[in-house]
Structure 1
Amino acid sequence: MTPDARTALRKLASGVAVLTYRDGERAHGATVSSVSAVSREPLLLAVCLGATSRFAELVAAPGARFGVNLLRAEQAPLAGWFADPRRPLGLRQFDCVDWLPDGFSGAPLIEGSLAGMGCEVVSASIAGDHVLLVAEVITGAPGAGLPLLSFAGQLHDGDLRGLPERQPHPYATEESMGAIR
């Protein structure tokens, strides 16, 4: 790895989410910035977790169920809370948030999130020092607001500005565009 490789990869902006798990009194939450859409049919997402994380221990097997809470910009303190190893264990770590159990996974879905989803693990594999989970999205509850983003090691509000419709490349010609279609 070159010295700048890690810095270069940190330029990848991504949404911040809290993954949640609950099985009776056993519960856990974990902040991640590595959730990605994978497929529309079936509806799949991917999540990366540290291989030694508590969350990976709980859900890194096909059939395991968990929740995904995409955070709004105003929920940045929750990202810090669910990343803090000093927070209480079990359901007590959710005492500071309003939540409802997901109808599919039973996992806490944090009220006011940008979106909440109930998922089932399809596959889990080791990827370097992480576990890569691919999960099917079974339930979804879209919310509203601006996303919380991770960029260059810091959290940012997702003050999004729409760009104009797709513009052709300045060197594209009608003839070359027709060849692509």
Structure 2
Amino acid sequence: MSTATEVRAPRRPVRQDPVERRRALYHLASPVSVLTVGPEERLHGTTASTVTLVSREPLLVGVVLRAGSSFARLAAAEGRFAINVLSDEQAVVARHFADSGRPDGSEQFAGLAWTADSYAHAPLIAGALAHYTCRFHSAHAAGDSELLLGHVVRARTGDGLPLFSYAGGLFAGSLRPAKEAAAS
């Protein structure tokens, strides 16, 4: 049973400079991941900067991709995929899988250390902070994007600091504790 609620547009449109609105969205920092799908004869990877926990029970993660993403189509066809949360030392990997001019298939992974996940048969990239092996749950159109949901069946963690996407660039995470505001 669906409990989705449709939000109605305000009666009077809000007027704002679209450039300023988009610039404000660049201030949403997010960890960078490479999504992978297999098996070896149909390997594919893509960089994603929007991966988030959607549900703890069942354990679901959401990934936002552009509408018509070939990764979403392949993940749905295979019924499983992997998420590799990149470390701050893997900016080159993030850029490689974001490049639309990279080779197709297994050639995308040439020169990259990885192992095939035993369940998803998708590449698990060496040095990643975490790997999530997912069973495809569903995909949903969302404006000019597509929301891909995966049921996490296995997760592994590594060591290091995260790679973040922020203000249109890639940054190493420091994980400094936040400064607390003084009580008034």
* TM class by smaller structure: 0.7 to 0.9
Q: State the match for 1:155 in structure 2.
A: 170
Structure 2 CA distance for aligned equivalents of residues 142 and 153 of structure 1:
27
* 1:109 paired to 2:150: no
Are the equivalent residues in 2 in contact too, given 1:50–1:56 (CA < 8 A)? Answer: no
Partners in 2 of 1:157 and 1:38 — Cα distance?
25
In structure 1, runs of 5+ residues without a counterpart are 172-181
Alpha-carbon distance in 2 for matches of 1:57, 1:38? 20
Whether the 8 Å CA contact 1:22–1:108 is kept in 2: the answer is yes
Give, in whole Å, the separation in 2 of the partners of 1:105 and 1:29: 13
Structure 1 runs, 4 residues or longer, greater than 4 Å off: none
Matched position secondary structure for 1:73: coil
Equivalent-residue separation in structure 1 for 2:83 and 2:43 (angstroms): 14
2-structure distance, mates of 1:84, 1:129: 20
Q: Which amino acid aligns with 1:16?
A: V
Structure 2: distance between partners of 1:38 and 1:152 = 24
**1:145: how far off?**
0.3
Q: Which amino acid aligns with 1:20?
A: T
2:17: which partner in 1?
A: 2
The one-character-per-residue Cα deviations of 1:11-40 (angstroms, maximum 9, x if unpaired) are 100000000000340110000100001111
Distance 1:129 1:144 in 2: 35
- Whether the 8 Å contact between 2:53 and 2:60 is mirrored in structure 1 is yes
Structure 1 residue aligned with 2:34: 18
In structure 2, C-alpha distance between the alignment counterparts of 1:125 and 1:52, rounded to whole Å: 11
Structure 1 residue 60, shift from structure 2 partner: 4.1
TM-score (norm 1): 0.86
Q: Which residue of 1 aligns with 2:104?
A: 89
Equivalent-residue separation in structure 1 for 2:121 and 2:73 (angstroms)? 18
Deviations, residues 13-71 of structure 1 (Å, cap 9, x unaligned): 0000000000340110000100001111111110011112221221246x720010000
Q: Is the 8 A contact 2:82 2:124 kept in 1?
A: yes
How many percent identity over aligned positions? 48
Evaluate the alpha carbon distance shift between residue 161 and residue 31 of structure 1 in structure 2; reply closer, same or farther with a 3 A threshold: same
Instruction: Kindly report which structure 2 residues correspond to 1:53-92, keeping only aligned pairs within 5 A, or say none.
Output: 53-60=69-76, 64-92=79-107
Q: Report the aligned-residue RMSD.
A: 1.8
